Structure 1
Amino acid sequence: MTRIGLATIAREWGRIGCIGFGGPPAHIALLRDLCVTRRGWLTDREFEDGIAVTNLLPGPASTQLAILCAWRLRGTAGALVGGLCFIVPGLLLILALAVLFLADNAPAWVTGAAAGAGAAVPAVAAHAAWGLIPGSRQRIGAAKAARVRWVLYLLAGGVAAAVTGPWLVLVLIAAGLVEIAVRAPSGRRAAWPVVLALPAAGGGLGALAWVSAKVGALSYGGGFVIIPLMREDAVHTYGWMSDAQFLNAVALGQITPGPVVQTVAVVGYAAAGLGGGLLAAFVAFAPSFVMVIVGGPRLERLRDNDRAQAFLTGAGAAAIGAIAGSTLPLAWSLDRPWQFVLLGLAALWLLVLRRGVVTALVACGVIGAVIALF
């Protein structure tokens, strides 16, 4: 393990946390440039192994990669400092924007910008799902039976996100366990915390922590799976925010640097103010720190663990379906005619022209602000 000063880790990981716009691809590129290309702290093989391992874990993969790289350089202290410095800049910014965009007496241009950016969110979700499909198809294999299972996992996740809501976690876990059973029918079955699929009794901070725990511990298939995981609880079960406000939360999670999972902080703010936002972020990110620090060297074995690979194959495919399925209720929640026009333009920009997500959200937000003013 190369020992690097904590001040250096804080500075470099904090820099990435400030400029890491664009989600996991941008975070991976910045971490590779820092740790492999410029500083030579890690080899290409070590970095690629880190990507493979974190993709097998639930939760925000790019955040876990940042924590893992810092852990390799300075152990537990490095993981804590690097992870926090990577997360905190975007977290502070998204909480500040949440105060502005969720205010009861927000200026007209602010509400217009929120409605404009929110209108693009269904297209962003569809774009995210489409981008995940090639890797998932490669993972499932070329056999006809495997392709059939893959389609069924996609459909199950899509239906769960579009219709059943709170039972999505059970669908994700079931898809993973089915794939394990198919690939290793005589192997020992793994136990999974399916109880997290259920809503928490009552409400308040306990319910907020419960919802955030589901996001941090059971979000397979990329950061965007938090949309179907959180929407039902945040909007319908507990009523912390409206559908329009949830769209705003997702948009803020995309236009700010750092991991998309920071969207949970906006939901926490809507539920219980700044304290709720900080609590939600802590609970959502804590599993990532625990898995990397406690798992340590044993994480490398996941690459060769057939059951872990099989579970992620099934659960990941269902998660992609869930992300795609979430576009329907998200689009249905739009309530202004001009928002559907912006949704169509965003879909053209992202799905046909294959341009950037941040650009689409910012442009739609600007158009929404202009419409609100005039």
Structure 2
Amino acid sequence: MIKPSFAELVRVFGRIGLVSFGGPAGQIALMHRELVDERKWVEDDAFLHALNICHLLPGPEAQQLATWIGWRLHGVKGGLAAGLLFVLPGAAIMLGLSVLYAFAADLHVVAALFLGIKAAVLAIVVQALLRIGGRALTTGFKRGLAVAAFLALFLFNLPFPLVVLGAGLIGFVVARARPEWLKAHGGSAPAPVGPMPWGATLRSVAIWLAIWAAPMAVILATLGPDHVLWKIGAFFSQLAVVTFGGAYAVLAYMAQQAVQQMHWLSPGEMTDGLGLAETTPGPLILVTQFVGFLGAFRAPAPFTPLVAGILGAAVTLWVTFTPCFLWIFSVAPWMERLERAPRLRGALAALTAAIVGVIANLTLWFALHVLFARVSEQRMGPVRWSIPDWSSIDWRIALIAAMAAVLIFALKRGVLTTLTLCALAGLALSSV
């Protein structure tokens, strides 16, 4: 292993932060090529073991992996540099796009471009579902968990955290009795000997909990618990604790709450935000920043709309990513021990399988609300399901979505190319 200087670490992660397109899979592949294959800063086994543990933690696994690599090379300052540089370039771009969207969304040209982006997002989410499903559902038991998670969300409206954490608990139990049902892979060497790093863990937890809570304490003291900034911070703090499986997995829960409960934005605007996040570098979970910006922008008092929106985006960014540093700096000293814990590997395998069902629910929810202007809800006791009004289908979006599917699945085009071409198609069809 070659240990770089701190300045070199900053330079390399700054570049990675600017070009980390393609979602978690693309970002992890980029870091592996840059840091393992080319620069040999991290051994391949250590990289993969850390990635397995990052999958167990809530939050964006690629950003957490970057933070762990920085920590391993230069301690806490290295972790902070790598983690922040992975996020901040995309966050700055996302803030600029959110401002443009808030002030220009009613303009014909912008609305036309987003017509195409919404359609492209449908194909992108389907691609994510198929990719993750193909990798995760390797046994009949895992496929059953995925179906159960989908039905629990779509038909019974169970809380997202309950579904995800319940799947993890099932995996934890099944890993001991029937490990072949999960095929959870991990390290086979014995856990390292030596003193348990309790002191470092407890210090990290105390420090980062205080950092996480600091802006919320200021908001509570100055604006009170009824202000939109407090509600944004509280909501995304809760989300940060249950975002297992990456952004796609949590989008269904976030969208339903932000749209139906908080009324911060519409379903169409939610898909617009996802389209923006797909076009920027950094974690896809930066879509939360767009939601926080619009939520505060539309309830700005006592600030101007622009100032409130920027504050909303900043609070969202803070409470979304500060926990990532808490998890990594607390767990990093335990990485080797955790990787060799078979029950935790089982919990991860079951949780990942359930995530496929969660993403399937998200896919169907997006498709219904993007393709159809009117969607009604039917109920029968505890069961409820959504029914579209077929006369309200937007044929333009359906046509562009089919075009996006051809670009992604048949022609193997990238996300940026697909979004660009679909946005132009939306512009061309908007007047029809």
Coarse TM-score class (shorter-chain normalised): 0.7 to 0.9
Superposed CA deviations along residues 165-223 of structure 1, whole A, max 9, x for unmatched, are: 571221111111122223336xxxxxxxxxxxxxxx96722332233234432222233
Q: CA deviation at 1:372?
A: 3.6
The partner residue of 1:297 within 333, 337, 348 is: 333
In structure 1, how many angstroms separate the alpha carbons of the residues matched to 2:51 and 2:431?
45
Residues 47-95 of structure 1 deviation map (CA, whole Å, 9 limit, x = unaligned): 2222222223222111111111111110001101111111000011011
Give matches, 1:105-124, under 5 Å.
106-124=106-124
Contact 1:162/1:326, CA 8 A, preserved across alignment: no
What residue is the counterpart of 1:358 in the other structure?
Answer: 416
Q: CA deviation at 1:290?
A: 1.0
Whole-Å separation in 1 of the counterparts to 2:341 and 2:130:
27
Residues 207/156 of structure 1: CA separation in 2 closer, same or farther (3 Å cut): farther
Residue 240 of structure 1: how far off its partner (Å): 0.3
Letter in 2 for 1:312: L
Structure 1: give runs of 5+ residues left out of the alignment.
186-200
Amino acid at match of 1:256: T
1:178 has 2:170 as partner = yes
Structure 1 equivalent of residue 357 of structure 2: 321
SS of the residue 2:282 aligns to: coil
- The separation in 1 between residues aligned to 2:174 and 2:48, in whole angstroms, is 28
Distance 1:290 1:2, change over 3 A: farther
Count of equivalent residues = 352
Q: Which has the larger radius of gyration?
A: 2
What is residue 379 of structure 2 aligned with on the other side? none
SS in 1 for 2:365: helix
Alignment of 1:1-374 (within 5 A): 4-103=4-103, 106-138=106-138, 142=139, 147=140, 149-163=141-155, 167-184=159-176, 204-272=228-296, 273-334=309-370, 335=373, 336-372=394-430
Counterparts of 2:324 and 2:107, CA distance in 1: 37
Q: CA deviation at 1:46?
A: 2.2
8 Å Cα contact 1:35/1:42 also seen in 2: yes
Q: What's the CA shift for 1:2?
A: 6.8
- CA offsets, 1:214-242, max 9 Å, x none? 44322222331121121111100100001
Q: Aligned partners of 1:165 and 1:9: how far apart in 2?
A: 45
- Structure 2 contact 153–358 (Cα < 8 Å) conserved: yes
From the superposition, tell whether residues 158 and 88 of structure 1 become closer, same or farther in structure 2 (CA, over 3 Å): same
Q: Secondary structure at the match of 1:326?
A: helix
Q: 8 Å contact 1:214–1:229 — kept in the other structure?
A: no
Percent pairwise identity: 29
**Contact between 1:255 and 1:362, CA under 8 Å: does it hold in 2?**
no
1:22 deviates by: 1.0
Q: Is the 8 A contact 2:2 2:39 kept in 1?
A: no
Give unmatched runs, 5+ long, in structure 2: 178-224, 297-308, 374-393
Residue in 2 aligned with 1:190?
A: none
Compute the RMSD of aligned alpha carbons. 2.4
Q: CA deviation at 1:20?
A: 1.1
Contact kept in structure 2, 1:62 and 1:259, CA below 8 Å: yes
Distance in 1, Cα, partners of 2:107 & 2:315: 28
TM-score (ref. length: structure 1): 0.86
